[in-house]
Amino acid sequence: MKTLVTGGCGFIGSALVNRLVREGDHVDIVDDLSSGDPTNLECKFNAVPPMLLSRYPKKSEKDSALLITGDFACPELLSRIKAGEYDVIYHLAANPRVAFSVEKPVESNETNLHKSIAIFKTAADSGTRVVFSSSCAVYGDPGTLPTQEDEKKSPESPYGLQKLLCELYLDLFVKLYSIDAISLRYFNVYGPKSLGNSPYSTAIAAWCNAIHDGKSLRSDGDGEQTRDMIFVDDVVEANYLAGRHKEKLSSEKINIATGISYSNNHILSLMKKHIGDIQVVTAPPRPGDVTDTKGDVELAKNKLGFESRISLEEGLEKTMRWWGIKDNA
C-alpha cells in the first residue's frame, strides 16, 4: 500500500512507520521535526524539503521511506494527496499535550484543528482513507467508567476540544464528500522513545527521565487519579488494522484502550520493584487534567478485531529497559 504518516518521526508515528515498512508499504513521512526525531526510524529513508518534493519518486524504495521535512499541511504535500498518491493517511501530527493547549490555545488550535481540516478535505477530494489519531480527552471527566464511545463529550482542555471538533468535521465530511475515515481515541499511550524532558511530558516518560538523570519524581495531586495505560505497540496495531479494514469507514469513533486503569501511585509502586526506593515530590494537580480514564473496548474488538496484548507490567519493563534504567528485580 502507499501510505502517508503525518508526525511520523514522533513517538507513536515512528513506531507506526517502522511497522508499515516491515509490512512492505511504500511509506511517506511528513514531520517538521519540532519534536519528532528521525533517529526513531529503524528503516532507511531519504529526506527532502517540501519545495523539492516534485523531484522525488511517488513511491519509496523497498525497505525505505521518504521523509518530507516540513509542515504536514504544506501546499506541496496537499497537492500530492489530491493527486491520489496514497491509499491511507495516518494523521498523527499534533501538539499533543493538554498543558500546552491550556497555556497556548491559539497556537495549538492552528495545528490540531485548522491544518487537520486541510488534510481531511484534500483526502476527501482524492478518495483517500484517513485514520485520525484522536484522544480520550474528548470525554473530559467522564461520568461512566469504563467509558463507551457514545458517552457525553465535555472536554476539560483546548486539546480535547480540538480533537472533538476534528471528529465532528469528519462526520460532516462524510455527509458532504463521502470521506472514508475513522477516529481512534487513544487513551494514555506510553512506551520506548517517549521523551520525558519537557514540562508537557506524560507521567511515565517524565518519571523514567527523572530516574535516568538521578532526580526526584514529580507526582501531581494525591496520586490516586487513574489512567488506562496502553503500550505504543498496541496503538500501532490498532492503526494498522484500521488502515487495512476492508469496508469503507464512515467516521467511526473507537476507543483504543486496555479497559483497565491504574493509579499513579500503583504505577510508581511497580517501578520501585525494578529500581528500589525513589524520591517522589508532590505537586498540585495540573489544569485540564481529568481524574480517571478507563475505556470500554468492545467496539474496537467488534469493529477492528483489536485487543490490547501488552500488560502494564510488561510495557513498563520494555520502557525502562529502553531508558537504560537498572533492573534490580
CATH number at residue 186: 3.40.50.720
Q: In which band, very low, low, confident or very high, does the pLDDT at 290 lie, cut at 50, 70 and 90?
A: confident
The mean per-residue pLDDT over the stretch 49-68 comes to: 83
Residue of 113 and 55 predicted with greater confidence: 113
Q: 144 is written with which cell numbers? A: 461512566
Q: Is residue 53 part of a domain?
A: yes
Q: 220 is written with which cell numbers? A: 501531581
**152-168 pLDDT per residue, tens:** 999 999 999 999 999 99
CA pair distance 222, 269, nearest whole angstrom: 14
**229-231 vs 226-227, strand pairing mode:** unpaired
Report whether 253 contacts 167 (CB < 8 A). Answer: yes
pLDDT at residue number 150: 97
CA pair distance 14, 20, nearest whole angstrom: 10
Residue 59 has pLDDT above 80, yes or no: no
Count the Cβ atoms, other than its own, within 10 Å of residue 148. Answer: 15
The mean per-residue pLDDT over the stretch 65-88 comes to: 97
Residue 328 has pLDDT above 60, yes or no: no
Q: Is residue 283 part of a domain?
A: no
The number of folded domains in the chain is: 1
**Which 8-state DSSP code applies to residue 157?**
S
55-64 burial, b if ≥16 CB within 10 A, otherwise e? Answer: eeeeebeeee
Residue 76 has pLDDT above 60, yes or no: yes
Q: Is residue 319 part of a domain?
A: no
Q: Is 140 helix (H, G, I), strand (E, B) or coil?
A: strand
Q: In which band, very low, low, confident or very high, does the pLDDT at 329 lie, cut at 50, 70 and 90?
A: very low
Residue 269 has pLDDT above 50, yes or no: yes
Q: Is residue 320 part of a domain?
A: no
In percent, how much of the chain has pLDDT > 90? 84
CA pair distance 180, 187, nearest whole angstrom: 23
Q: Is residue 267 part of a domain?
A: no
Residue 21 has pLDDT above 50, yes or no: yes
CA pair distance 226, 201, nearest whole angstrom: 17
Average pLDDT of the chain to the nearest whole number: 94
Q: In which band, very low, low, confident or very high, does the pLDDT at 77 lie, cut at 50, 70 and 90?
A: very high
Return the half-sphere exposure (C-beta side, CA atoms, 13 A cut-off) of residue 185: 33
Partners of 185 in beta bridges: 134, 255
Question: Is it true that the peptide bond before 105 is cis, omega within 30 degrees of 0?
Answer: no
Q: In which band, very low, low, confident or very high, does the pLDDT at 64 lie, cut at 50, 70 and 90?
A: confident
CA pair distance 111, 107, nearest whole angstrom: 7
Q: Where are the alpha helices (DSSP H) in the chain?
A: 11-22, 75-82, 98-103, 105-109, 116-126, 158-177, 203-212, 232-244, 264-275, 298-299, 312-323
Q: Exposed, middle or buried by CB within 10 Å (0-12, 13-18, 19+), for 263?
A: middle
Partners of 22 in beta bridges: none
The mean per-residue pLDDT over the stretch 56-70 comes to: 81
Q: 314 is written with which cell numbers? A: 510488561
The mean per-residue pLDDT over the stretch 24-46 comes to: 95
pTM of the model: 0.95
Report whether 87 contacts 3 (CB < 8 A). Answer: yes
Report whether 310 contacts 317 (CB < 8 A). Answer: no
Q: Is residue 13 part of a domain?
A: yes
Residue 274 has pLDDT above 90, yes or no: no
Q: Is residue 302 part of a domain?
A: yes
Give me the domain span that covers residue 234: 2-193+229-259+294-309
**172-187 pLDDT per residue, tens:** 999 999 999 999 999 9
Q: Is residue 300 part of a domain?
A: yes
